[in-house]
Each structure stands twice: as C-alpha cells, then as structure tokens.
C-alpha cells in the first residue's frame, strides 16, 4: 500500500469510528429507577418497578422531545394521596411538544397519565388501572396519538379529553370503568377508531355511563368501535354536531346502542 493510499484509508477508518461513536452516543438512553422530574430532552427507560410512594406526582415531564419507555414496569401509587398523578406532562411557563409515554403499567393513582398543554405526542401501549379518577387525561393537548392502551377499573373515565383537537384515539381497550369509557368535552376534530369501550359502570354519583360519550364536541370521527354492555349507551352524543359515526358495534347496552339529542 502506498503512503497516499494509507493516509486515505486512515482517514476513512477514523471517520467511520467517529460516526459510530456519535451515533451510539446520540441514542444512549438514560436509566431511571425512582420518581423524579425529567427536565431535559432525551430517551429515558425505567429500570425497575416504582411503588407505594406518598408523592403527588411520580414522574413530571417538563421538557419537550422526551421519550419515556417503561419497559413494562409498574408505577404504583398511594390511593390515599388525592390528586396524585403517575406521569404528569406539563410545564407552567410554556407548551410542550413531542413527548412519548409508552410500555408502562399504572395503578392506584388519582390519574395515571395526564397531558396538560402538550401537543404532537404519543401515549402507546400503557395499562392504567384502579385510578381514583380518570385513567388518561388530555387537557388543552392537541395532535396527540393514543394507541394500544388499556384503561380499566378506574374510578371515573378510562380516557378523558378536554379542550383538545386532532387527537387520534385508536385500538385501545377501555373496560369496566366507573364512568364513560371514552369522554370528549369541548374537543373537536378527533378520530376515535377501533376501540373496545365496553362494560362501563355507573359513576359514583349514580349516573349511567356510555362506552363513548361526546359533550359539546364537534366534527369528530367515530368508526369501527365496540360499545357493548354499558349502563347507558354504546355511543352517546350530547350537544354536539357534525360528527361522523361509521361501522360501530353497539349492543346489549342498558339504554340505547346510539343515543343523540342533536342530529350529528
């Protein structure tokens, strides 16, 4: 090999080594093993179960561009702490964007997952059970995706949207909650597709519950869902207009398959 060829080979080898070093450094995830605040962007992986902490919030995400991967571990709350949240996505001074919460199990919180003023994120493959109130809440949080989650045995709604638009709620199992399975309030242009929202039980106040309920929510698409054996209706539309309902299975509900007080 000539000296010129050797120099070229060395530079190429150094370049390849540097590329792999930078690439591997960029994707290195941060291991977490306890309740904490996540205030910097990056990928975080829960390395073990977290349980029985008397805290108001276990994991507070206050930065954009965060992936939290639970690795199928549990975050177990203390139901005696009213207002507690398993994962709270919120920043008091700015909106957040691009936050993913996935592969986690939540139980015994007031609310399992709560996005507040957070957009363009993803809630994927989580199980939220035995919350005092709603399993998953999105408040003023638009353009998010909720997919392949299970919300069951919660004290109120399984999935609850307030003032949120262009959210995709797809392929979730929402059963046996003491409230509406999926509830939209003042939330427009959302897609609710392919969910099983069944066996909703009465609220603690005694009100009947539907599999999917819309209140003051317009221009939503509700398609290919299952709403069976709810104490109210499979799908209930109240004070809402211009919604599209297609190919939903609604049967064996206590009041109606589909109930609407306004043509939609």
Mean pLDDT of 12-21: 42
Reference 112, options 99, 139, 125, 131; nearest CA is 131
pLDDT of the residue at 201: 97
* 8-state DSSP, 28: P
Q: Is 10 helix (H, G, I), strand (E, B) or coil?
A: helix
pLDDT of the residue at 80: 74
Strand partners, 87: 59, 113
**Segment among 11-15, 52-56, 78-82, 179-183 with least mean pLDDT:** 11-15
HSE on the CB side for 97, CA within 13 Å? 4
pLDDT of the residue at 81: 85
Mean pLDDT of 122-138: 98
193-204 residue pLDDT tens: 999 999 999 999
Mean pLDDT of 76-91: 92
Q: Is 35 helix (H, G, I), strand (E, B) or coil?
A: coil
Mean pLDDT of 4-29: 49
9 — pLDDT class (breaks 50, 70, 90):
very low
pLDDT of the residue at 133: 96
Residue 204: both structure tokens together: 């603690």
A 10 A CB-CB count for 171 gives: 14
pLDDT of the residue at 261: 84
User: What distance separates the 2 farthest-apart alpha carbons in the chain?
Assistant: 87
* 8-state DSSP, 153: S
How far is residue 221's CA from residue 243's CA, in Å, rounded to a whole number? 6
Q: What is the mean pLDDT of the chain?
A: 91
Mean pLDDT of 7-35: 59
Catalogue all structural domains in the chain, each as residue range(s) with its CATH number. Answer: 3-260 (2.160.20.10)
The whole-model pTM stands at 0.89
Q: Is 24 helix (H, G, I), strand (E, B) or coil?
A: helix
149 — pLDDT class (breaks 50, 70, 90):
very high
pLDDT of the residue at 22: 42
């Amino acid at each position: 090999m000539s000296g010129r060829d050797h120099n070229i080979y060395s530079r190429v080898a150094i370049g390849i080594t540097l590329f792999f070093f930078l690439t591997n450094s960029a994707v290195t995830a941060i291991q977490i093993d306890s309740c904490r605040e996540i205030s910097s962007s990056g990928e975080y992986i829960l390395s073990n179960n977290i349980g029985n902490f008397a805290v108001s919030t276990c994991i507070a995400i206050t930065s954009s561009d965060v992936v939290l991967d639970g690795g199928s571990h549990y975050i177990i709350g203390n139901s005696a702490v009213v207002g507690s949240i398993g994962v709270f996505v919120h920043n008091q001074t700015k909106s957040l964007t691009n936050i993913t919460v996935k592969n986690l199990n939540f139980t015994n919180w007031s609310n399992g997952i709560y996005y507040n003023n957070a957009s363009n994120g993803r809630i994927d493959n989580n199980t939220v059970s035995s919350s005092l109130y709603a399993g998953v809440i999105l408040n003023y949080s638009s353009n998010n995706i909720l997919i392949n989650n299970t919300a069951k045995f919660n004290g109120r709604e399984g999935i609850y949207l307030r003032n949120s638009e262009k959210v995709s709620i797809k392929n979730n199992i929402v059963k046996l909650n003491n409230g509406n399975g999926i509830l939209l309030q003042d939330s427009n242009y959302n897609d609710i597709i392919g969910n099983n929202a069944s066996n909703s039980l009465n609220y603690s106040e005694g009100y009947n519950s539907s599999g999917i309920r819309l209140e003051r929510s317009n221009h939503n698409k509700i398609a290919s869902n299952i709403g069976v054996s709810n104490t109210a209706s499979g799908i209930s539309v109240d004070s809402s207009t211009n919604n599209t309902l297609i190919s939903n299975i609604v049967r064996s509900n206590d009041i109606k398959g589909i109930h609407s007080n306004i043509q939609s």
